[in-house]
Amino acid sequence: MNIPPLPFTVTDWSGVPRTEHPGETGQATWRTFAVGDLRVRMVEYTPGYLADHWCDRGHVLYVLEGELDTELRDGRTFKLLPGMSYQVSDHGDAAHRSSTRTGAKLFIVD
- Domains of the chain in start order, with CATH, are 19-96+101-105 (2.60.120)
> pLDDT tens across 61-91, in order?
999 999 999 999 999 999 999 999 999 988 7
Q: What is the pLDDT of residue 91?
A: 79
SS (H, E, C) 9-41: CCCCHHHCCEEEEECCECEEEEEEEEECCEEEE
Lowest-pLDDT range of 16-20, 62-66, 90-94: 90-94
> pLDDT tens across 31-42, in order?
999 998 899 999
**C-alpha distances in angstroms, 31 versus 44, 78, 100?**
9, 25, 19
Mean pLDDT of the 95-99 span: 96
